Structure 1
Amino acid sequence: MSSSISNSSNRHLERPPQARRTDFSGIWVALVTPFCASTVAEVDFLALQALASKLISEGVTGLVVCGSTGEAAALSAEEQLQVLDAVLAVVPANQVIMGLSGNHMQQVMHRLAQTGQRQLAGVLVTPPYYIRPSQAGILHYFNEIADASAVPVLLYNIPYRTGVNMELATIQQLAKHPNIVAIKDCGGNLQATMQLIIDGDIQVLAGEDHQLFSTLCLGGAGGILASAHIRPDLLLRLQAHISTGQLEQARTIFYHLLPVMQALFEEPNPAPLKAALAASGTMQACLRAPMQTATAETTEKLLHAMAQLELIK
């Protein structure tokens, strides 16, 4: 497979009109799932709804529920639907994306059908984890999901979690499906990112927080970010500055945000983020084992970086 960039910027004109049912551009929050401080770490639904409402009121495009930041792997299928329904009770459905992952095809399709009974913006789907399917297997998996889904599908390429990378040619082929409309890009391949943006067949959203600025400058549509919990107004201003060509202003904001982004991922996500939110009184810093709370050192570094952001008006 070649990683060179070809000039195919007009290819999107051939895309079926129904493919763009939803515009996913903007700043989406990869939402945490708050837990209570108990033996089983039950979901704190009151804190979840308060946080979801707060973020929407602050102007973010929407929320991604039960993704990796939401500790979906630590939630049962029933709990995931309960978390989704709790968010939908306080947030408009067109501002909610549901995470979907698994390596048992029938179970994934069953959960897709249950999710599709809700009116959502879309579902964010990873390749099957652990089993490391071939590219042909990935194509089959996503085509089956996209054919069956009642809502638009967003690809989630995150090889360091799933154990398999979605190659550029695979993504390009999937991007032709009328129900596959966007990708959360954590693949770490700049050539592939640029080619997908040039193709114009699929909206490219930064999935690595520190790559938001470069992705937007290259023409990406936005981001799905854990750091959007903290000063989302700055992320929104950053995107607005880039869209109007004010790169110096956008760059200044980004470099103010960067220490927070870096501190958030010094330990496994979302431990530092939950520590930061706990410090602000939003929720408790509880995670489900084997995840552990952030160390005092990381928490101190993160809170210091956040304090610097408070100086920005």
Structure 2
Amino acid sequence: MQKTALDSNQATYDFSGLWIPLVTPFDKGKVDDPALKRLVAHYQASGIAGLVVCGSTGEAAALSDEEQLEVLQTVMAEAGGLPVIMGLSGYHLGKTAARIRAVSTHGIVGILLPAPSYIRPSQAGLVEWFTTLADTSAVPVVLYDIPYRTGSKMELETIRTLAGHPRIQALKDCGGDPVKTRALIADGQLQVLAGEDANIFSTVAAGGRGAIAAAAHLHTARFAEVVRRLRANDMAGAEALWKPLPPLIEALFAEPNPGPLKAFLARQGLLSDELRSPMTRASAALVERLVKLDAQVA
């Protein structure tokens, strides 16, 4: 992946491949920096394109602005050149713009940006929101279309309009509309990344560039190889690797993410099974189910 300068305030970036939206480990209520460093080291040589910090899987909504910056700085210091995207959300335009300016100076390759939650603006309002923030950013923007979290559905023509902005270069697609997904892939204006883990195969097989997938915390190299083979048109090889993964993906989201994921990572000794309220730990029954499904992924 090459970053190519367009001018002093703008760059293009190839977001192809598999990205992990990193969990945020906690220890007795505080961000667990040693565990965070372990996680980064654990995924460095796994074949991923990079890491996404402070997304929904990272419990960003439960982190203060200062904690989010701490997480970013810790990951960047440990990443050793592994590309990092920063998740950043808000509903106050001025404050969100100021945070984008601040984090853009930390060596990240992109900002993952959803619609403002709770407000539910019009499509014109969404265009204004994303355009203003993309104008502010010194790094490329990855649109995050996830209406079941934000309450705002981004229509196809809205996304097409935004794709004309030189800094808006990719889309994390959780929109739930396969027709819209295929249309955006066919347009070729944005790099479409699967955001729903169960849709990785279908999205990349249709021409999507990759995925941002929480489930890929487990069997990471396998997920990365599925994406690589699909992009190389090795459908049979990709399908053989993919076949045992959907039941595991379904189980990881059977209870609110990242509870099940953290429970399994805790079993691997990578972090403590701790979340911030109102998120809760996975049930014992689900953890037992996950262990059995994990064992079936050869």
Give the 3-state SS of the residue equivalent to 1:48 in structure 2.
helix
Please tell me whether residue 34 in structure 1 is matched to residue 22 in structure 2. Answer: no
Structure 1 outlier segments of 4+, above 6 Å: 17-20
Please tell me whether residue 120 in structure 1 is matched to residue 108 in structure 2. Answer: yes
1:244 positional shift: 2.7
Structure 1 residues 92 and 199: CA distance shift in structure 2, 3 A = farther
1:20 positional shift: 6.5
- Structure 1: segments with no counterpart, 5+ residues: 1-16
1:132-281 equivalences in 2 (<5 Å): 132-281=120-269
CA distance in 1, matches of 2:47, 2:227: 13
Report the AA paired with residue 76 of structure 2.
L
Larger relative contact order, structure 1 or 2 (CA cutoff 8 Å, min sep 6):
1
What RMSD over aligned residues (CA atoms) do the two structures have, in Å? 1.4
CA distance in 2, matches of 1:172, 1:187: 14
1:307 positional shift: 1.4
Matched with 2:68 is 80
Identity across the alignment (%):
48
Per-residue deviation, residues 43-68 of structure 1 (Å, max 9, x unmatched):
00110111012112222110000000
Give the 3-state SS of the residue equivalent to 1:60 in structure 2.
coil
TM-score computed with the length of structure 1 as normaliser? 0.91
Give the 3-state SS of the residue equivalent to 1:89 in structure 2.
helix
Per-residue deviation, residues 41-93 of structure 1 (Å, max 9, x unmatched):
11001101110121122221100000000000000001000000000001145
Please tell me whether residue 288 in structure 1 is matched to residue 276 in structure 2. Answer: yes
CA distance in 2, matches of 1:254, 1:72: 29
1:240 positional shift: 2.3
Give the 3-state SS of the residue equivalent to 1:120 in structure 2.
coil
CA distance in 2, matches of 1:184, 1:31: 15
User: Do the aligned residues in 2 keep the contact of 1:101 with 1:126 (CA within 8 Å)?
Assistant: yes
Matched with 1:22 is 13
1:232 positional shift: 1.0
1:94 positional shift: 6.0
Report the AA paired with residue 176 of structure 1.
G
- Structure 2: segments with no counterpart, 5+ residues: 1-5
CA distance in 2, matches of 1:220, 1:299: 32
TM-score computed with the length of structure 2 as normaliser? 0.95
CA distance in 1, matches of 2:48, 2:55: 17
CA distance in 2, matches of 1:140, 1:89: 34
Report the AA paired with residue 32 of structure 1.
V
Give the 3-state SS of the residue equivalent to 2:95 in structure 1.
helix
1:243 positional shift: 2.4
Q: How many residues are aligned here?
A: 292
Please tell me whether residue 299 in structure 1 is matched to residue 278 in structure 2. Answer: no
